[in-house]
């Protein structure tokens, strides 16, 4: 099984004819993603990469039955692209774009919630269901099928964990990069709940970072409440000084909120195994796959 995305998903790309959209859509197709349409206003009626182009998401959905959208449009237009997809009833929206103005995303997320659809991102690498499909920019060759689910705020660390697991002979179910901006779609809690219900996912790797309180909330409300599967965690940014932004727009510590130590402590209390390096994450996840019953949570 899979969460969120499968080989049966019908994917459209907003911004398909642009440079980034073209490059990554080619990679998505090469991985096996069922790419059925592109949306580029003013270019409707043409084709690109062998798929039809439409002026609007509503047109693309009506003609192709698309249910997933990948967004590769410039930051000034990305929030509107998210809301257009939500208004058209696209069930899963994956926004790769970074640099979207904060108040644009406040408005877009509220619109998505009202529409009752799911959003991943923005400023994220997207997701891959190993051996089936991907939407986003996670490299194709590092993914291999197996029992480990991955959810992460960091794109680069997502790639490192996937590659490390694959090189160790440990495959993945679905790898989800939720992004590191202050205003996001799906949270750690949301993705963890999906992994909890997925019988193919036996172990979960959770990659957090300083800033915000999503990791602590996930530890308290999901992992620590009969999650039933081993969780291996890693928190990046432990050496960041308080009050200083580090990388992601959301990676800022304010007072005692969002510190690495508070996240580590919360996850440990919930029963997760916390690692200090990516190598340790790979080893711990592999061990948990081999002996899932001994590592299962309360």
d(CA 253, CA 271): 24
d(CA 25, CA 201): 27
Task: Delineate the domains of the chain, giving CATH numbers in brackets.
Answer: 11-120 (3.40.50.720), 138-289 (3.40.50.261)
Return the H-helix or E-strand segment holding 273: strand 273-274
DSSP classification of residue 179: -
- pLDDT tens column, 89-122: 999 999 999 999 999 999 999 999 999 999 999 9
d(CA 185, CA 115): 13
Beta bridge partners of 52: 47
Rg (CA), the chain: 19
Q: Tell me the whole-structure pTM to 2 decimals.
A: 0.92
Question: At 183, is the secondary structure helix, strand, or coil?
Answer: coil
d(CA 166, CA 160): 10
pLDDT of residue 254: 47
Answer whether residue 258 shows pLDDT above 60.
yes
Half-sphere exposure (Cβ direction) of 206: Cα atoms closer than 13 Å:
31
Query: What is the band of 294 on the pLDDT scale with cuts at 50, 70, 90?
Result: very low
* 141 in catalytic set: no
Answer whether residue 220 shows pLDDT above 50.
yes
Which of 24, 48, 202, 248 is catalytic? The answer is 248
pLDDT of residue 277: 94
The β-bridge relationship of strands 231-236 and 203-209 is: parallel
Residue 107: how many other CB atoms lie within 10 Å: 16
On whether the CB atoms of residues 38 and 96 are closer than 8 A, the answer is no
List helix spans (H) across the chain: 19-31, 57-64, 75-87, 102-115, 155-167, 188-197, 214-218, 260-270, 278-290, 292-295
d(CA 231, CA 250): 23
- pLDDT tens column, 9-44: 999 999 999 999 999 999 999 999 999 999 999 999
Query: What is the band of 1 on the pLDDT scale with cuts at 50, 70, 90?
Result: low
């Amino acid at each position: 099984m899979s969460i969120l995305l499968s080989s049966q998903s019908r994917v459209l790309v907003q911004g398909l004819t642009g440079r980034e959209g073209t490059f990554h859509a080619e990679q998505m197709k090469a991985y096996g993603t069922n790419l059925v349409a592109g949306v580029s206003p003013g270019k409707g009626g043409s084709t690109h990469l062998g798929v039809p182009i439409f002026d609007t998401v509503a047109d693309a959905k009506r003609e192709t039955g698309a249910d997933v959208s990948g967004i590769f449009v410039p930051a000034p237009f990305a929030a509107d692209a998210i809301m257009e997809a939500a208004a058209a009833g696209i069930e899963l929206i994956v926004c790769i774009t970074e640099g979207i103005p904060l108040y644009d995303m406040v408005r877009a997320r509220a619109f998505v919630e009202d529409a009752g659809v799911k959003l991943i991102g923005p400023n994220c690498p997207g997701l891959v269901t190993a051996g089936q499909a991907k939407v986003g920019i996670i490299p194709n060759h590092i993914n291999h099928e197996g029992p480990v689910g991955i959810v992460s705020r960091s794109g680069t660390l997502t790639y490192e964990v996937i590659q490390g697991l694959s090189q160790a002979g440990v495959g993945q179910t679905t790898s989800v990069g939720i992004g590191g901006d202050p205003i996001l779609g799906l949270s750690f809690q949301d993705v963890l709940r999906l992994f909890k219900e997925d019988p193919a996912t036996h172990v979960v790797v959770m990659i957090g970072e300083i800033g915000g309180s999503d990791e602590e909330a996930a530890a308290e409300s999901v992992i620590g409440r009969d999650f039933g599967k081993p969780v291996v965690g890693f928190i990046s940014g432990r050496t960041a000084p308080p009050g200083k932004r580090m990388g992601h727009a959301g990676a800022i510590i304010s007072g005692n909120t969002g510190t690495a130590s508070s996240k580590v402590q919360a996850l440990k209390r919930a029963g997760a195994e916390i690692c200090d390096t990516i190598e340790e994450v790979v080893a711990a996840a592999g061990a948990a796959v081999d002996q899932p019953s001994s590592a299962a949570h309360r």
